[in-house]
Amino acid sequence: MDYIIYFVITIAILVFIHEFGHFAAAKLCKMRADVFAIGFGKRLFGWNKINGFTFGDLEKDFDTQGNTDYRLCLIPLGGYVKIAGMVDESFDTEFANEEPKPYEFRAKPTYQKLFVITAGVMMNLTLTVAIFWGINFFQGKQVIKTTTIGELSSEGKAAVIGFQTDDKILSINGQLVDNWEDVLTNIFVEQISVDKEVVVERNSQQVIINIPADSIKSATNEVPFIQPGETKPVITEVMKNSPAEDAGIKAYDLFLSLNNIPLNTSAKAIEVISSNPDVEMPLVIQRDVDTVFTKVKPAMDGKIGVVITDSYTGPIEFQSYGFFSSFAKSFEQVNFVTIKTISALGSVITGEIEFKNAFGGPVKIAQYAVQSADNGIISFLFFLAMLSLSLAIINILPFPVLDGGHFVIILVEGLLKKELPIKIKIGIQNAGFVLLLLLMAFIIYNDIISL
């Protein structure tokens, strides 16, 4: 039940913010917005000035008389604003054979149309910046006070480039680094299109490692490319009736060793677990200040029923920010996440990352929402900000049905100085809608089989 509740809360917030952007922009441009909906499909209930609060669908020929029907619909996977005179996901074309009315979308100049279409994405970005700003100002930031690299896979990109476990990074392109954020920022954000010269301390000697610019892009898509030392795998969730539950494993346990093998990464823990199906193995856990000894026996599919990630256990420094510096910091964070997201999307297109590993659907969103909420309000808000930013980036892609697809059509019409034929617009929308449904079905399927 928690999954459903937090999923609905998360989607409702993000959809409301996004659609409110479209709605407010339309109203500012004196367009008629007939419907403001959270969810798709059948109208459950809603309110408008004509007949007040009502349950169920409105009459087929109901006239809002220029007012808006605010409604909640059955399927909580999105939402929409129905703007008069616009070809959108409703595929309503009744207006096509009539002369454009002053309050219709199609009657407005190109710049107003573009403003309305991009307003949803801008609201998502505004929400992200506002949350980051608030977190930075009221809580500050915990900075990982190390530049030492943790355990590396011998086949990973970092090892291939020349890094080794326990390398201490001293500088990047002549810029001294003092903490892990400095390391990531100087490699993946600052001057991403230039080669990087990294100076590391290895066995009391300085070693220079060169990272070609074209390797940086691919390196950003390996998760993690590098991670700090003093990292341990941590359990964030234990499934009911699982081998992990039988072994007494609890959420927030740190795995120290498994089958007498020291563990420094979640990847190593998963490797040991998946390699020993139906084999009982000794497990050493750190639980708060206690060390717990137990045994766990993975199921035949090589799983123990946990969600596992990496947790840094070394020294941390607390940084506080002023009102304006926290605002500037929020833009740095948005810039960093945007670069990583766009790079990852590019790698999906080129095949460097499998599509099924790049996207999560309702099930994964629900899982992450619950996990973040369990960690406190700040964690949940941070998750909300990250998801809002991701949705903004995806929504602005030039794909039919998405805001980016509408943006391209409006630009083309602006250049041609005339509207595209309705049949062409409907064809584009239909094709995009079908592809989007197939995409969502595939993502949800992958969500389910990964449980």
Any domain includes 304: yes
Burial of 437 (0-12, 13-18, 19+ CB in 10 A): exposed
> Are 292 and 245 found together in one domain?
yes
> Are 102 and 21 found together in one domain?
yes
Q: 359: number of CA atoms within 13 Å, CB side?
A: 19
> Are 149 and 211 found together in one domain?
yes
Give me the domain span that covers residue 271. 231-313
What are the backbone angles phi and psi of residue 282, rounded to the nearest 5°? Answer: -70, 140
Contact 321, 140 (CB under 8 A): yes
Contact 365, 6 (CB under 8 A): no
Of 304, 319, 334, the residue at which a domain comes to its end is 319
Please report, for the domain that includes residue 206, its CATH number: 2.30.42.10
Q: What is the mean pLDDT of each run of 10 residues along the chain (451 residues)?
A: 75 93 96 92 92 89 86 88 82 71 92 96 96 91 89 82 92 92 79 83 94 70 75 90 94 94 91 94 94 95 91 86 92 84 73 61 63 72 90 90 92 90 84 81 68 56
What pLDDT was estimated at residue 192?
Answer: 66
What pLDDT was estimated at residue 429?
Answer: 82
Any domain includes 42: no
> Are 160 and 276 found together in one domain?
no
Q: Among positive and negative, which fits the CA dihedral 332, 338, 339, 341?
A: positive
Pairing of the two strands 231-238 and 205-211: unpaired
What pLDDT was estimated at residue 90?
Answer: 62
What pLDDT was estimated at residue 361?
Answer: 59
Q: Rounded distance, CA 267 to CA 127, Å?
A: 33
Domain count, the chain: 3
What pLDDT was estimated at residue 363?
Answer: 60
What pLDDT was estimated at residue 358?
Answer: 58
DSSP 389-417: HHHHHHHTSS-TTSHHHHHHHHHHHHHHT
Any domain includes 396: yes
Of 253, 281, 313, the residue at which a domain comes to its end is 313
Contact 105, 113 (CB under 8 A): yes
Q: Assign residue 233 a region: left if phi > 0, alpha if psi is -120 to 50, beta otherwise?
A: beta
Residue type, 290: D
> Are 155 and 214 found together in one domain?
yes
pTM of the model: 0.73
What pLDDT was estimated at residue 296?
Answer: 96
Q: Rounded distance, CA 40 to CA 50, Å?
A: 22
Of 313, 343, 373, the residue at which a domain comes to its end is 313
Q: Rounded distance, CA 144 to CA 439, Å?
A: 38
Q: Helix, strand or coil for residue 134?
A: helix
> Are 221 and 119 found together in one domain?
no
What pLDDT was estimated at residue 377?
Answer: 82
As a whole number of angstroms, the longest Cα–Cα distance in the chain is 80
Q: What is the DSSP letter of 100?
A: P
> Are 307 and 220 found together in one domain?
no
What pLDDT was estimated at residue 372?
Answer: 65
What pLDDT was estimated at residue 366?
Answer: 63
Q: Assign residue 321 a region: left if phi > 0, alpha if psi is -120 to 50, beta otherwise?
A: beta
